[in-house]
Structure 1
Amino acid sequence: MDRIDETQETIARIRMNIDNYDKSLEAHDGDNTVDETPVDAQNSAHWAFGAPVPGHLLNSHALQELNRESPLFRDFDYRLRQFISESFPDEHIEFEDTIMIRRFKCVYLEYQSLEDWRGARDILRFNPYFQKEARYDSVIVNMTDPGLRFARPRVLLRCTLPNGRKIDVALVRMFTGSRWKSRTRWTGCQIRDESKKDSLLSMEHAVRGALMAPVSGASNKP
């Protein structure tokens, strides 16, 4: 019983330190001109977007044209329509339909901790200029196939369909198993490579944040 109490106290201290660290970041956030109040797509969602990119909503064609120099948005309109047709077949999206989009740079993910079964929240950022440097956090993804899956979102998008339905998606780079082997063996350590290919992911599959530690000294770093 004493060991359980000691473990619970340790968890509480770790959580308190993390909360204090998050508060210190918010106090010194260099991007404080952006409203980071969560903006839910629907009340039942376990995620909420924050930090909307300033400006008006853009349709998918205009967003692709605006970012035509970025490989991330190559054939974006076509890929988005194909993704919606496959993931939400009841929407019956046609080529001539207008899809309005707003971009965000932050997401709040609510989940139940497997450590103590209490509710928890991760605040994740995807910002090319956060406190003077790029920051793109990673997430654990719930896929149909077994095993842990990880992704690094690059852009958060809220898509408004012609019927008014809002769908939250992200342009992500998935992580896959790596062939690279570390000279130091760590029990339970998994090494992943970040894909160079961008894909679309529905935010309903994002579970919680994940810390993907970079590997130093590897010819092909994950």
Structure 2
Amino acid sequence: MREFSRWPGLKHCNQVTTIHFTDGQTFYDILKSVLPCIVQILPSNNPLVHCIRAYQRYRLMAGMYCMPARRLAQLNEFIKDYEHWCTRVSKEYGKNFDFFKQHAASHLVQDIRSKGTTNHGSTRPGEGFQQEAAEAYNQTNFKNVASQMNRINETQEAIARIRMAIDQHDQQCEEGDVDSTPKFSRVTSASWRFGAAGRIVNSNAFGVLKPAGCTVQNFNLMLRDFIAEHFPDDRIQPFKCAHLTYQSFEDWRGLEDIVRCNPSFHGSERYDSVLFNSDSPGMSFARISALLRCTLESKRTIRCCPGSRISAEQMETGTAWAGCQVHEEAKEYSLLLMDYVIRGALLTRAPVVGKGNLHFLVDTVDPDTFPPRRPILGPNYILLCIELWLLFIIPDHG
């Protein structure tokens, strides 16, 4: 777990076996990342691996914000699969699954149908009120406390409102705009942008790329060959992160991934992977080793990222859980235009002895990577698109 790849929003745990008490989000993050870490430790085709994977699928599907009938039917199948592997684990290890949260699987689908998705309910709201009430109670004389606590609560609420107004005014003054005019972010056509800019240098002086596990000595020649077909290179500027925007396939919102390319990010190397468009079947991944903006003699700029391609590979050892994908990282480097990059992807090293540079695809970081496929457009959706095209695109000739 200490060597597990880092990812935004996913808590990185170094000592999971010594955790005795923590919050639920930490346990949820451990659930998301535990399978690649234990699959080679347990015996081959161990039912515990399949049980954890079944619970991953059940838990991730249950937490989605949009639950049409198709997803509810898939959730019901995941629950049946989870119950099957719980029975197998109970027979082999004597594990007792008789506890309250386990019973939620039996009525979860019906609860979603009648009350809505699970994000509308939580046990966390109201927990902070107990601390506020205890603090107010300690300020009373412990006699006729109701009226005293009401006055203390009113005072605290007034102080909080005054503090919020002062903070908002200070923030507007720092931005140089004290009026109440709403501010809108600049919208661009690109689905990505660089961040953490470095010093602009010539390509000859850019140095040697040293991503994890590989060294590129002739970067200048590789970069020039990449853009020689279009323009001669003049100057390049490296960046340490990129913001990738994409549309969620879960609820169609606009989301953002932050991928990093940094030799020392909080004391550790950080070279993230990305999913990009290619002509090859299936999904194509690459681990980026640099993020570059090249300024050409014509004053035009191109943005690219050198990286190693990651192709699918069959794993012959260990336990292949449902949806398991193993990919091998190539030793050769190639350059990729940022226009082809879709979003970030989390791949963590597979501890397989004598198998080269293998990585597991972690599809549990968000609903868009689980299941790791794009939705299939049904015939009703296609007919609807044709009708809209006929109504709004074709001119009306009377």
Q: TM-score, normalised by structure 1?
A: 0.72
Give the gaps of 5 or more residues in structure 2.
1-67, 69-110, 125-185, 359-398
2:250 alignment partner in structure 1:
115
What displacement does 1:43 show? 3.1
Which of 148, 170, 191 is the aligned partner of 1:46?
A: 191
Establish whether residue 155 from structure 1 lines up as the match of residue 290 from structure 2. yes
Which of 220, 224, 229 is the aligned partner of 1:77?
A: 220
Cα distance in 2 for residues equivalent to 1:72 and 1:163: 31
Cα distance in 2 for residues equivalent to 1:195 and 1:69: 15
Structure 1 vs Structure 2: percent identity of aligned residues? Answer: 39
Cα distance in 2 for residues equivalent to 1:155 and 1:188: 30
Cα distance in 2 for residues equivalent to 1:149 and 1:9: 35
What per-residue deviation string (whole Å, max 9, x for no partner) do you get for residues 14-55 of structure 1?
A: xxxxxxxxxxxxxxxxxxxxxxxxxx9x932110000012x3
1:16 alignment partner in structure 2:
none
What displacement does 1:8 show? 5.8
What displacement does 1:138 show? 0.9
Distance 1:47 1:125, change over 3 A: same
Distance 1:218 1:117, change over 3 A: farther
Aligned residues: 181
What displacement does 1:69 show? 8.8
* Cα RMSD after superposing both structures: 2.7
What displacement does 1:6 show? 1.5
Of Structure 1 and Structure 2, which has the larger fraction of its residues in helix? 2
Establish whether residue 6 from structure 1 lines up as the match of residue 117 from structure 2. yes
What displacement does 1:163 show? 0.6
Q: TM-score, normalised by structure 2?
A: 0.42
Distance 1:85 1:3, change over 3 A: farther
The structure having more radius of gyration, on CA atoms, is 2
Which of 309, 325, 336 is the aligned partner of 1:174?
A: 309
> What are the residue-to-residue correspondences of 1:1-222 with 2, within 5 Å?
3=112, 5-6=116-117, 9=120, 43-53=188-198, 55=199, 57-63=200-206, 66-67=207-208, 72-86=215-229, 91=230, 93=231, 97-220=232-355, 221-222=357-358
Opposite residue 301 of structure 2, the aligned amino acid is K
What displacement does 1:117 show? 1.1
Cα distance in 1 for residues equivalent to 2:255 and 2:189: 16
Cα distance in 2 for residues equivalent to 1:199 and 1:215: 23
Contact 1:72 1:198 (C-alpha < 8 Å) held by counterparts: no
Opposite residue 116 of structure 1, the aligned amino acid is D
Cα distance in 1 for residues equivalent to 2:313 and 2:281: 17
Contact 1:58 1:100 (C-alpha < 8 Å) held by counterparts: yes
What per-residue deviation string (whole Å, max 9, x for no partner) do you get for residues 172-211 of structure 1?
A: 0110122432421212211101111111111111111111
Cα distance in 2 for residues equivalent to 1:177 and 1:68: 25
Give the gaps of 5 or more residues in structure 1.
14-39
